[in-house]
Amino acid sequence: MIWRIWKVEKQTKALTNNVYQSYNLCQVIYVIAQSRVFYTTFVIVTFVVSTIQSNALFLISNIVYLLFLNKFS
């Protein structure tokens, strides 16, 4: 997804002879990359905690709820 955004922005600049004003898609790319890192981290931690059958899984799920899901409800 990041590659596609960057590629489309580059093609648009080339077609418009740099008249195109960038909407600073680097910020969008940064947000997408950061969310992928958070998601991957939580998936790995959840997998490890559930594999060792620890009660810390409840703590992890509560942290995810407080950080992310609570903001949208």
Kindly report the three-state secondary structure assignment for every residue of the chain: CHHHHHHHHHHHHHHCCCCCCCCCHHHHHHHHHHHHHHHHHHHHHHHHHHHCCCCHHHHHHHHHHHHCHHHHC
Q: What is the residue extent of each domain of the chain?
A: 8-72
Over residues 12-27, the pLDDT tens digits come to 777 766 655 556 677 7
pTM for this entry: 0.57
Binning pLDDT at 50, 70 and 90, where does residue 28 land? confident
Beta-carbon contacts of 10 under 8 Å, excluding residues fewer than 6 positions away, are none
Over residues 34-58, the pLDDT tens digits come to 888 888 888 898 888 888 888 888 8
One-letter amino acid at 49 equals: V
Residue 40 sits at φ, ψ, to 5 deg, of -60, -40
Does 72 have pLDDT greater than 70? no
